[in-house]
Amino acid sequence: MLSLCQQQKIDFHVNNDQHNLILGGNLQREIRTILGEDFPKYKKQLRLNNIMFLEQLSSPNGKFLSTWKTIGRKTFTAGLARTPKWFKELQRHVLEDHNTRRLQQNYFTDSPSHFKGTEITFPNPQNSAKEFVSIWNPLLFRSSLGRIRMKNAENNTCVIEHWIVDEIASITASPVIKLCTGCDIHHPDFSTIETKATVHNLYCANLYHLSNATVISNSRPVLDKR
């Protein structure tokens, strides 16, 4: 349609109020501007991944550039596995510090009110999947991590086994969590849970509202190389 209009030299005017505004974009932080004369080389690839603005690639607080691994999981990207060349080039332009991935100050952006294409998923009350979750913990007055061990769809509750960050094994890009062996949030009523086949002992567990839990996606067991 647009190319037809161009061929026929047909122009049309749109009332200023009806222009499509692309939210969150700023010309200075447009990938096109940042990559400059190299942009045409990568135009097709960027379009394929629906990437136009630096905002889409930075951390929720707008001060750090996400890793390609994180960006590849966003809902808008086509899920490229390997770090594309344009991204490596972009990093050279915008990063202040390559270790922390902090952006140069002129590339900082405001915090948006959405999650930049990162999907927030909730545990399904109807199945018995033992998801790793993050949950608001009213006893600690902050969120804590854990693994669902039992769901009760009727009253929307679940028993969550407490897991904690392993500060020795963790690195920034891939945090490692381990089973809590017991702390103040444990409730003795949940020391054991019974399944059809067996009785499980839980060292640190409590009952929570299932709807307060969000699933930690892409979690996988760490292979023990020792």
Query: Structure tokens of 206?
Result: 């409590």
Q: In terms of CB distance, is 165 or 183 closer to Zn ion?
A: 183
Among 57, 145, 177, 204, binds Zn ion (CB under 5 A): 204
Q: In terms of CB distance, is 116 or 162 closer to Zn ion?
A: 162
Residue 160 lies near Zn ion (rule: CB under 5 A)? no
Q: In terms of CB distance, is 5 or 183 closer to Zn ion?
A: 183
Among 122, 183, 189, 217, binds Zn ion (CB under 5 A): 183
Site for Zn ion in 115-144 (CB under 5 A): none
Residue 177 lies near Zn ion (rule: CB under 5 A)? no
Residue 74 lies near Zn ion (rule: CB under 5 A)? no
Residue 162 lies near Zn ion (rule: CB under 5 A)? yes
The structure tokens 């009350």 sit at: 125
CB of 163 to Zn ion, least distance (A): 8
Which helix H or strand E contains 21, and what residues bound it?
Answer: none
Among 35, 180, 202, 205, binds Zn ion (CB under 5 A): 180
Beta strands in the chain (DSSP E): 95-97, 102-103, 132-137, 142-152, 157-165, 177-179, 192-194, 199-201, 205-209, 213-215
DSSP 197: S
- For 211, the 3-state DSSP assignment is helix
Secondary structure, 3-state, 122-154 = CCCCCCCCCCEEEEEECCCCEEEEEEEEEEECC
CB of 213 to Zn ion, least distance (A): 16
DSSP 225: -
- For 10, the 3-state DSSP assignment is coil
CB of 195 to Zn ion, least distance (A): 22
CB of 40 to Zn ion, least distance (A): 55
Query: Structure tokens of 169?
Result: 């094994």
DSSP 66: P
DSSP 174: B
Q: Which of 69, 73, 145 is nearest to 101 (CA)?
A: 69
Q: In terms of CB distance, is 52 or 179 closer to Zn ion?
A: 179
Stretch that binds Zn ion, among 95-103, 148-156, 159-167, 206-214 (CB under 5 A): 159-167
Q: In terms of CB distance, is 147 or 162 closer to Zn ion?
A: 162
Q: In terms of CB distance, is 177 or 180 closer to Zn ion?
A: 180
List of residues contacting Zn ion (CB under 5 A): 162, 180, 183, 204
